[in-house]
Amino acid sequence: MDTTNSWLLSRVGARLLVACAGGAIGWWVGDGIGRPISLSFGLAIASVATLAIFDTLKGHQLLDWLRTPDVSPPRLPGIWGEVAHRVHRVIRLREERIQQERARLGQFLSAIEASPVGVLLLDAGDHITWISPAGADHFGLDPQRDLQQRVTNLIRQPAFVQYLQAGDYRDPVKCLMPRGGQGYLSIQVRVYGEGLKLLLSQDITERERADNMRRDFVANVSHEIRTPLTVLNGFIETLGSLPLTEVEQKRVIGLMAQQADRMRSLVSDLLTLAQIEGSPRPSSDKWIKVADLMGRIETDGLALSRGRHPMSFLIDAQGKSMQIAGIEGEWLSAMGNLVSNAIRYTPEGKRIDIKWTSLSEGGVEFSVIDGGIGIPAEHIPRLTERFYRVDGSRSRDTGGTGLGLSIVKHVVQRHGGDLRITSEPGKGSTFTLTVPSARVRLL
Ligand SMILES: Nc1ncnc2c1ncn2[C@@H]1O[C@H](COP(=O)(O)OP(=O)(O)OP(=O)(O)O)[C@@H](O)[C@H]1O
Ligand SMILES: [Mg+2]
Q: What is the CATH number of the domain that holds 306?
A: 3.30.565.10
- On whether both 54 and 180 belong to a single domain, the answer is no
Which of 264, 340, 405, 423 for a ligand 1 pocket mutation test, highest count of atoms within 8 Å of Cβ? 405
For position 319, what pLDDT does the model report?
Answer: 86
Closest-lying ligand to the alpha carbon of 390?
Answer: 1
Say if CB 365 and CB 356 are below 8 A apart.
yes
Question: For residue 154, which of 141, 138, 163, 172 has the smallest C-alpha distance?
Answer: 141
The verdict on residue 108 lying in a domain is: no
- On whether both 300 and 434 belong to a single domain, the answer is yes
- On whether both 178 and 299 belong to a single domain, the answer is no
Q: Which residues line ligand 1 (CB under 6 A)?
A: 269, 337, 341-342, 345, 370, 372-373, 375, 383, 388-391, 395, 400-405, 429
Ligand 1 centre distance from Cα of residue 287 (Å): 29
Q: What's the CA gap between 362 and 380, in Å, rounded?
A: 28
Strand partners, 197: 122, 191
Residue type for position 221: V
What residues have CB less than 8 Å from 272, skipping those under 6 apart? 333, 407
The verdict on residue 413 lying in a domain is: yes
Residue type for position 94: R
- On whether both 129 and 266 belong to a single domain, the answer is no
The verdict on residue 302 lying in a domain is: yes
Split into its structural domains, the chain has a count of 4
Q: pLDDT-derived band of residue 378, with 50, 70 and 90 as boundaries?
A: very high
The distance in angstroms from the start CA to the end CA of the chain is 93
For position 4, what pLDDT does the model report?
Answer: 47
For position 182, what pLDDT does the model report?
Answer: 77
Is pTM beyond 0.75? Reply is: no
Percent pLDDT > 90 in the chain is 55
Over the stretch 34-88, which tens digit does the pLDDT of each residue have?
A: 555 566 677 777 888 888 888 888 888 888 888 876 777 888 888 888 888 898 8
- On whether both 177 and 216 belong to a single domain, the answer is no
Ligand 2 centre distance from Cα of residue 254 (Å): 23
Ligand 2 centre distance from Cα of residue 213 (Å): 21
Q: What's the CA gap between 344 and 341, in Å, rounded?
A: 5
For position 338, what pLDDT does the model report?
Answer: 97
Q: What's the CA gap between 76 and 312, in Å, rounded?
A: 104
Residues of the domain holding 53:
3-95
Among 172, 203, 234, identify where a domain stops: 203
The verdict on residue 196 lying in a domain is: yes
**Whose Cα sits closest to atom 1 in ligand 1?**
342
Ligand 1 centre distance from Cα of residue 400 (Å): 7
The verdict on residue 179 lying in a domain is: yes
For position 224, what pLDDT does the model report?
Answer: 85
Which of 341, 387, 422 for a ligand 1 pocket mutation test, highest count of atoms within 8 Å of Cβ? 341
Closest-lying ligand to the alpha carbon of 427?
Answer: 1
For position 304, what pLDDT does the model report?
Answer: 94
Over the stretch 127-182, which tens digit does the pLDDT of each residue have?
A: 999 999 999 999 999 999 999 999 999 998 899 999 999 989 999 999 988 866 67
Q: Is the pLDDT of residue 31 over 60?
A: no
- On whether both 195 and 175 belong to a single domain, the answer is yes
- On whether both 236 and 356 belong to a single domain, the answer is no
Ligand 2 centre distance from Cα of residue 98 (Å): 69
Q: Give the CATH number for residue 229.
A: 1.10.287.130
The verdict on residue 101 lying in a domain is: no
